[in-house]
Structure 1
Amino acid sequence: MAQANIIDTKLRLVFETGLDQKGKPIHKSKTYSSVKQSATADQLFTVGQAVASLSNYPLVALNRNDSFDIVG
């Protein structure tokens, strides 16, 4: 049976930086690597909010990206 072993966790913050010519929002993201794999959603949310408060742009999304090795 195959197993998934977590190898990396990243936190991605997505900001709205303005509007395009059609009035649609423009999003830019910043990714932070080497996040503790044991971090909870609440912990990541708190850190993301704190980091976003240093930006001039509003935060529109926080994403947790986990990478796995699949072994048989």
Structure 2
Amino acid sequence: MAAYEFEQATMTLQFEVGRSAEGKKLYKTASYRNIEAAATPAQLAAVASALASLTVYPLAAITRLDKQRIQQ
């Protein structure tokens, strides 16, 4: 039977850095790899808030992307 095997996780922080000439919001991102599989959303939010406090830009979004291998 096939099953998932955790491979890696990445957390991405998106910062709002201003507006374009057309008035659209502009963003920059910072990605952090090797996130623990067991990391909870509350833990990731706490880390993201701590990292965001080191920047002058407001934090717009936090995402987590998990990569899993399918074992047969």
What TM-score, normalized to structure 2? 0.93
Structure 2 unaligned residues grouped into runs of 5+: none
Q: Deviations over 1:5-33 (max 9, x none)?
A: 11101111000111011101011100001
Matched positions, count:
72
Q: Which residue of 1 aligns with 2:23?
A: 23
- 1:35 is aligned to 2:8: no
Aligned pairs for 1:1-72 within 5 A: 1-72=1-72
Letter in 1 for 2:6: I
3-state SS of 1:18 partner:
strand
Letter in 1 for 2:67: S
Structure 1 unaligned residues grouped into runs of 5+: none
- Over the aligned positions, Cα root-mean-square deviation in angstroms equals 0.9
3-state SS of 1:46 partner:
helix
What TM-score, normalized to structure 1? 0.93
Which whole-Å CA distance do the structure 2 matches of 1:27 and 1:59 have between them? Answer: 10
1:70 Cα deviation from its structure 2 partner = 1.3
3-state SS of 1:39 partner:
coil
3-state SS of 2:9 partner:
strand
